[in-house]
Structure 1
Amino acid sequence: MPADSTNDPVHALVPHSPGRPIEGAANGPLAGRSFMIKDMFAVEGLKVSNGNPGFYEIAEPANETAPAVQALLDAGATLTGSTICDEFFYSLLGDNAHYGAPINPRAKDRHTGGSSCGAAAAVAARMCDFALGADTGGSVRIPASFCGLYGLRPTFARISLDGATPMAPRFDTAGFFARDAKLFREVGNVLLDERRVEGAIGQLIVVEDMFDQADPRIVEAIGHALAHVGDKLPPAEPRRIVGEAIEPWREAFRILQGHEIQETLLPAIEKHGLKLGPGIKERFEMASKITDEEADEAQKVREKATMRLQAQAQPGNIMAIPTAPTLPPKRDEAEGEATARFRKLTLQATCLAGHAGLPQITIPAGEVDGCPVGLSFIGWHGGDEALLDLAVKLAG
C-alpha cells in the first residue's frame, strides 16, 4: 500500500501539495509504491511554485503531466505529494525563506541539503517510497548524501525534463531518491531512456584530488566503506585528475549557470517583481551581471574539463569521490562565511559530473558525528544502469 503522507512530520510538503493521492496504474513494476515530486514538475490541473509563492500566484495550471511523472504513474506508483525546494533551485543548503527548511530525519540539527530538500526529507522520513527531484549543481546528490539515501544524477538528458521548470538547461537533469537499492534500480528502469551504453565495471579510479579537499573524518568513513565492500569492487587505482583546475572548473560552472538563468528564471522574476529571500536575491543579482564574454571564457574552461573527465570515463571505468566534502551545515547557522565555504567546496565536488554530463550515483557510506556520509561513483555516458546495478551489488 502507498505510504501514509496525511501528516508531514519533517515539513517536507509545500502548502499547495495535492490534497489527495493521484493513483498510478493498477499493474506495473512500481505497483503499490508511493512517490513525491519536487515542486517544479507539472501535474495536469495543478500549479508549481518553484519554491516561490509569488510565482505560484501568477502560474497557470499545467495542461499535461510531465513525462517523467507520467511514466512513474503508468508504472503503477501513486503520487502522494509535492515537496519544498530551495527558492528557484538556487542553493545547495535546503532552506526556503517562504516555506521553511525541511527537517533532516537522519540529523535533525543539520540541513538536508538542497535544492531537492523536501523530496529527500520525505523519503528519509518514510513518507513515501521514493521521490523525483532535479539536479543542476548537486541538488539530488547533496541531499541524498546528507539524508543517508541513494541518489542519482543521470547521464545528461537520459531522463526527460519536459514539463519541469528549466534553470540552466545545459546542466539540468532529473534525478531520484530511494532508501532501498533494489527499488532505486527499479525506478531507474522506468525513467531512463534507451540510450544505454553497455560496459562491465572493470576499473575503479579513486580521484585523490576530491578526497584531498574533503573533511578527513569523511575520508576515513568512506575508506571504511570501501574496505568493507572491497571484494565486490575492482582493485582501486588512485589518480589525480583535476589538480589546480578545480577552482577554475567551479567558477566556470557558476558563471555558465548564472548566464543561463538570465533567459530561464530571471525574466519572470523581473517582470512580476517577485520577492526573493536572502541569499537567493543576491545570487540572482550576481547572475544578472554576467556578460556574454565571461560566459564564452567559462565555456572554454568547461570544454577542457569535459575532455579531461571523459578521457577517464571510458566504458568500464568508474571514479570514486566523496559526494559532499563537508558535513551538513547546522540549521541554526546563519548565512555567512561558513555557509559560503560549504557552497564553494560542494560545488567543486559536484561540478565534475555537471560539466561532463556524466552519471553520478551516491550511496550511503556510514556516519560522522551522527551525520550520514555519501560515497559517489561517476560513470561513463550512458552507464547509469551499471551504477544502479553496482548499488544493488554493494547493498547485497
Structure 2
Amino acid sequence: MSAPLGPTASSPASGVEDGVGAFVPGPRVHVAGVPGGPLSGLRCAVKDVLDVAGTVTGNGNPQWARTHAPATRHAASVARVLAAGADVVGKTISDELAYSLTGENAHYGTPLNSAAPERVPGGSSSGSAAAVAAGLVDFALGSDCGGSVRVPASYCGLLGMRPTHGRVPEEGIAPFAPSFDCVGWFARKADVFAAVGEVLLGGKMTLPAAPRLILATDAFNLLTDDARAALRPALARVEALAGQAGPLVVSPDGLALWSAAFRTLQAAEIWASVGAWVEEVKPQFGPGVRERFEAAAHQDPAAIAAAQMVRQAVRARMDALLPTDTFMLLPSTPRIAPLRGSAAAETEVTYRHLAINLLCIAGLAGLPQISMPLAMLDGAPFGLSIVGGRGSDLELLALATRICTTP
C-alpha cells in the first residue's frame, strides 16, 4: 500500500542545531507529527534515502539530487512515525547511494561520532546515527542492506534494528538492492527504541516465556582476543537474563563463503537498480564507492546463479537454527570503528569484507537483528547483536529492550 500524501516539507528552523555534521546541507526539512500519538513529543531524523514529501531524496550524492524531482509522498516508514506523533526535523547524510559502511562521504564530509570523536560513525546511515548519538534527536530512521544500521549502531553506542526483510514497508526508499533492503532505526534509550519499533512493526512487544540462546562460535572466532574479551561481560549479562547460550558453528561451509555470495548478489541487484543512471550521469564517486560500482557493472551470471544457491542454503540453515523463541548472539562488527581518515583500502575493502562475514548472516536469510550497546573497547563502543527467527521482530525487540534496561 502506498504511503499517504503527507504535509509538504518546509524549511523553517527545526530548533535543532547541527554541531556534528549529521544533516544534509541546505534548508532543513521540518514536518510536524499528528498530535496525541505514542511518539508525540519525540524528534526524528530521516536518512536521505527515504522520501519526505516536497523534498528531493539526495541519496548521498549531489548529482543524484540534481537529477531527481522532489518526492510527492512520504516514504511509508516516515508516514508511520509522523502519524504516531513524531516530528521530523531533518534529513541526514548517507554514504553515496548507500554503498559503504564507513560514514565518510566524499561530497558532504564525515558526521561526528560523538561516542568516539576520533573515529568514523559508520555507514551508510551515518548522519542518522550521528544525530542520535549527539542527542540532536530522540530517534532516527535509516536503511540496512549490508549492515547500514547495525554497523553505525555498534560504532556510535546505540540500539539499532534491522527488521525481518519486508516487515517494515519499503515504499519510498531510493533504489538499491531490493531483496536485501530494510528500513531500520536508532535510539539511545531502550524505551524510545521499543516505542518506535512497535509503531514501525505494527504490533505490541511480547517477551518470550523461555527463550533459548545460541552462541555463534564461528562469528566470535573472527575477533581478536581483545575484542572477544570486551564482549564477555555483555554475554554474561545476556545469559543472566535469558539463560546460557549453547555454542554452535553457524556456517559449516565458512562465513567467508556466505559473505562472498552476499557481495555478489548485492552488487548485481544494485547495478540492476541504478546502473542505467550511473552510465548516463557518470557521477563522481568517492574512494571505495567508485571501485564497487565499477565491479558491480561486470558481474558474472554464473557467479550470480551460484550465489543464489548459497542464499537458499543459508535461509534453510537459519530457519532450522532459529525456530520460535530461539535467538542467536554474535558480534555486531568485527572491531570498533576505524579512525577517521584511515586508508580507503583498509576501511573500504579489507575491513568491509571482514564485517560482511558477520553482517551477511541476517542479510542473506532476511532475519531481524538488533545491535545492543553493551561493550566498550579502547574507549569506543562495541556492539553485541541478537538475531531472531523470521518474523520474530516483536519478540526480539522485547528481549533486547529487557537486556538493555536491566542493570
User: What is the alpha-carbon distance in structure 1 between the residues aligned to residue 236 and residue 35 of structure 2?
Assistant: 43
User: What is the alpha-carbon distance in structure 2 between the residues aligned to residue 228 and residue 135 of structure 1?
Assistant: 27
Which structure 2 residues correspond to residues 20-35 of structure 1 after superposition, within 5 A? 21-35=30-44
User: What is the alpha-carbon distance in structure 2 between the residues aligned to residue 249 and residue 315 of structure 1?
Assistant: 24
User: What is the alpha-carbon distance in structure 1 between the residues aligned to residue 232 and residue 253 of structure 2?
Assistant: 24
TM-score (norm 1): 0.95
User: What is the alpha-carbon distance in structure 1 between the residues aligned to residue 285 and residue 212 of structure 2?
Assistant: 46
Is 1:340 matched up with 2:369? no
Q: Which residue of 1 aligns with 2:3?
A: none
User: What is the alpha-carbon distance in structure 1 between the residues aligned to residue 341 and residue 267 of structure 2?
Assistant: 28
Q: Match for 1:76 among 60, 78, 85? A: 85
Q: Match for 2:236 among 227, 236, 240? A: 227
C-alpha deviation, 1:338, in angstroms: 5.5
AA in 2 matched with 1:11? G
User: What is the alpha-carbon distance in structure 2 between the residues aligned to residue 313 and residue 230 of structure 1?
Assistant: 17
AA in 2 matched with 1:115? S
User: What is the alpha-carbon distance in structure 1 between the residues aligned to residue 253 and residue 243 of structure 2?
Assistant: 28
Which structure 2 residues correspond to residues 101-180 of structure 1 after superposition, within 5 A? 101-180=110-189
User: What is the alpha-carbon distance in structure 1 between the residues aligned to residue 204 and residue 401 of structure 2?
Assistant: 21
User: What is the alpha-carbon distance in structure 2 between the residues aligned to residue 54 and residue 193 of structure 1?
Assistant: 36
Is 1:85 matched up with 2:94? yes
User: Which secondary structure does the structure 2 equivalent of 1:151 belong to?
Assistant: strand
Whether the 8 Å CA contact 2:211–2:326 is kept in 1: the answer is: yes
AA in 2 matched with 1:33? L
Whether the 8 Å CA contact 1:133–1:174 is kept in 2: the answer is: yes
Q: Which residue of 1 aligns with 2:211?
A: 202
In angstroms, what is the RMSD of aligned CA positions?
Answer: 1.8
Whether the 8 Å CA contact 2:28–2:91 is kept in 1: the answer is: no
Instruction: Work out the percentage of aligned pairs sharing the same amino acid.
Output: 41
Q: Match for 1:391 among 390, 396, 400? A: 400
User: What is the alpha-carbon distance in structure 1 between the residues aligned to residue 128 and residue 157 of structure 2?
Assistant: 13
> In terms of mean alpha carbon deviation, does 120-129 or 261-270 score higher?
261-270
Whether the 8 Å CA contact 2:142–2:185 is kept in 1: the answer is: yes
Which structure 2 residues correspond to residues 226-305 of structure 1 after superposition, within 5 A? 226-305=235-314
Is 1:361 matched up with 2:384? no
AA in 2 matched with 1:90? Y
C-alpha deviation, 1:238, in angstroms: 0.8
User: What is the alpha-carbon distance in structure 1 between the residues aligned to residue 29 and residue 103 of structure 2?
Assistant: 25
Q: Which residue of 2 aligns with 1:6?
A: 16
Aligned residues: 393
C-alpha deviation, 1:129, in angstroms: 0.2
Whether the 8 Å CA contact 1:152–1:361 is kept in 2: the answer is: yes
AA in 2 matched with 1:13? F
Which structure 2 residues correspond to residues 178-189 of structure 1 after superposition, within 5 A? 178-189=187-198
TM-score (norm 2): 0.93
Q: Which runs of 5+ in 1 are unaligned?
A: none
C-alpha deviation, 1:273, in angstroms: 2.2
Whether the 8 Å CA contact 2:207–2:398 is kept in 1: the answer is: no
Q: Which residue of 2 aligns with 1:212?
A: 221
Change (3 A) 1:52 1:237: same
